[in-house]
Amino acid sequence: MAFTWSAKRKRWLSSFGGRVNVGAEGDVLGGHTIVVQYAKTTRSKFHDFLGSYTPLIHTTGTGRATVLRDGMAYDARWSRPSETQGTTFTTADGRPMTFAAGQVWVVLVNDGRPYMP
């Protein structure tokens, strides 16, 4: 998955495998802010009919993130103390991370090597 800044549209446009993602209405999909949240990924207890396991992404705890906003990329940190609380994002120096007005996409990415229990 990749995102390219469009100054004309003032948002990040998405693509996958080198092909632009287009919605049913024909417009390129994307958002004003893209959050790439790196989190530990393990194998869940669930699997498909072929026996392939579904990944389990651990979104509690803390970790790193990259925030794409206004044509720039920002290093950030994420924190979610428990499953009953929301995730907060802060800048590298600990201030609250601001997002552009409009749609926000959150992309969950494995942080490091896959872990298979």
| Structure confidence at residue 111 (pLDDT) | 86
Read off φ and ψ for residue 76, nearest 5 degrees: -145, 170
Taking only the tens place, the pLDDT of each residue in 5-45 is 999 999 999 999 999 999 999 999 999 999 999 999 888 88
CA 76 to chain centre: 12
Q: Which of 41, 29, 42 is nearest to 105 (CA)?
A: 29
Q: Is the pTM of this model over 0.85?
A: yes
Burial (CB count <10 Å: 0-12, 13-18, 19+), residue 39: buried
Q: For residue 97, how many other CB atoms are within 10 A of its CB?
A: 19
| Structure confidence at residue 43 (pLDDT) | 85
Token pair recorded at residue 117: 């229990």
Token pair recorded at residue 101: 């007005």
